[in-house]
Structure formats: C-alpha cells, structure tokens
Structure 1
C-alpha cells in the first residue's frame, strides 16, 4: 500500500485544479497505461511474426529456447513467468509446427524437456530481423527503449514483492 500512497500523493501534488481531484480517473491509472502500451506494442509484432507462423506468446517461448535448450517444461514456465497449464498448449502448437519436441529429460526421466528441432533452430535466423524492425516501427531510440526496459523490470520487481 505504500506504493499506492506514494502514487496517490504524487497524483494529488501534480493534478491540483479548482475541481476536486479524481484519484480514479482512468487516464491517470498506471495499470491502464501499461495495458494499452502492452497491447499496442504486441500488435506491432503481429505482422512480423505471422510469416514465421508465430504468435507473440509462441515467439517468447522460442526466444527462451534460442537462449538455452533443452529446457525442462517447469524451468521454461518459470523463465516466461507462465503457469505450466498455459505453457502446455503453446508447446503443443509449436510441436505441431515442427519447431520443438517434448521428450523425457535424460537426467531425470520424471521431467519433460523441450528441445528445438532443426526447423526451430533455423527459424532463429529469420527472427533476428524482428528486434530492429520493432525499433523502427516504434520510432524510439534504442537507448530510450533500453531505459524503458530497465524501468519496467524495476516495476515488475516492485509489483512482485
């Protein structure tokens, strides 16, 4: 609640008008701005991902696997901050496209691991064009985007406390 109080105090200090301030004004809510920003940015990815046969959630799974594989399903879910029940259908769809394979972890037969197929590894080359295309579409300097990323990461950490 301390964060909410700080936000409310900030809001009151910066929105002094002759009218009574409205702490519930939609356009003043951080959650609203984040929701709109998220949908808008993800929409920029859609035309770039469609030719690869990926949705944004599938793209995130592939990014995690291009970083490191094989990965246990549980580890992948933690990395993506997804519930395993949400991740499972994504993995099934990626497997149907021939990008990944789910198999028993050789180090622990009880665990399921996800590995990239050759087709999934080859897709990485096409995907390398996506980050610069997003920067171009957004029209924001890379340094500004990296600062925004840092601030959002701080926000995520604060919200997770």
Structure 2
C-alpha cells in the first residue's frame, strides 16, 4: 500500500488564513473580548452584559425588541443576558402597560450607579488598542461602512 502524500499547500493568497479579512476581524474581536474580560472583572459584567448596560445608560428604558435592534441580537440571545442582569440587581423587567407582549427593561438604582464605577473601562480599552483618536475614529468609520456593505449584501438580520 502506497502512503498518501499530504496535499500541497496552496500558494494562492486568496486561500491563506492570514490573508482573510474575516479572520482578522474575528481575531481582533477575540482579543477585544480578552481585554474587556479583564477590564470588567471587578464589575462582574460580561462584555455582552456591558453592551446592554451601555445602551440603557444612553437611551433609558427600552423594550427587549428595541434593545435587540441596538445590539443586533435576537431575543433568544438577549433574554438570558437581561435575566442575569436582573438577578444581579442591575435592571428590572416589566410588561409594558401599552402592550402586554412587550417587556420593558429599566435600570435599577444599582444599575445607574454602576455607570460611575466602570467609567474608566473605555479608557482602558483605548489604551490597549494603541490607536490615537484619529486612527480609532477612522477605523470606526471603516467598520461601520463595512457593516453597512455586508448588511446590504445579505439583507438586515434584525
């Protein structure tokens, strides 16, 4: 029996992992997750929970559906996050008096107070990126443009 020879590596850059934009974004997102994990450790928040809190600090009480739109998450993903925040005493959930099917998420006093206790998180993250304000702003613009292009190519998911 003749031994099989391994497939020859592809020299085509289009098929090289390190040349894939999607992988570079994935790797950057994972690195961000690691930095956020450390920055949020004392607060007890996970990165997704932190995002929920950011939206509520910015916009005030919102329905789960509205939160999902801001965060680009479906209710199946978002509901457990909100339940854990509620268990931690940071938010409350209540049925909307206008629409019993809608659940409103609102910050508790402890949730409002947390805003000041983790106010340094964005600075910690900014330092970790080693980007100056101009670079960070340009990258944010590029990522927003990329997101818009990808969503228009596939259609909005939410």
- Give the TM-score normalised by structure 2: 0.86
2:50 & 2:137 partners in 1: Cα distance? 20
* Compared CA separation, residues 20 and 41, structure 1 to 2 (3 A): closer
2:13 & 2:126 partners in 1: Cα distance? 36
Query: Partner of 1:35 in structure 2?
Result: 26
* Unpaired segments ≥5 residues, structure 1: 1-18
Count the aligned residue pairs: 143
* Compared CA separation, residues 20 and 50, structure 1 to 2 (3 A): closer
Give the deviation of 1:108 after TM superposition.
Answer: 2.5
* Unpaired segments ≥5 residues, structure 2: 1-9, 153-158
* Compared CA separation, residues 109 and 133, structure 1 to 2 (3 A): same
Matches within 5 A, 1:1-161: 21-161=12-152
> SS of 1:135's equivalent?
helix
Give the RMSD, CA atoms, in angstroms: 1.4
Query: Partner of 2:3 in structure 1?
Result: none
* Compared CA separation, residues 43 and 20, structure 1 to 2 (3 A): closer
1:125 & 1:96 partners in 2: Cα distance? 20
User: What are the Cα deviations for residues 89-146 of structure 1, in whole angstroms up to 9, with x where unaligned?
Assistant: 0001000000000001233333110000000000000221111111112221122111
1:107 & 1:68 partners in 2: Cα distance? 19
Structure with the larger RCO, 1 or 2 (CA within 8 Å, 6+ apart): 2
- Give the TM-score normalised by structure 1: 0.84
Displaced runs of 4 or more, over 6 A: none
Give the deviation of 1:55 after TM superposition.
Answer: 0.4
When structure 1 is superposed on structure 2, of 107-116 and 151-160 the one drifting more is: 107-116
1:122 & 1:92 partners in 2: Cα distance? 19
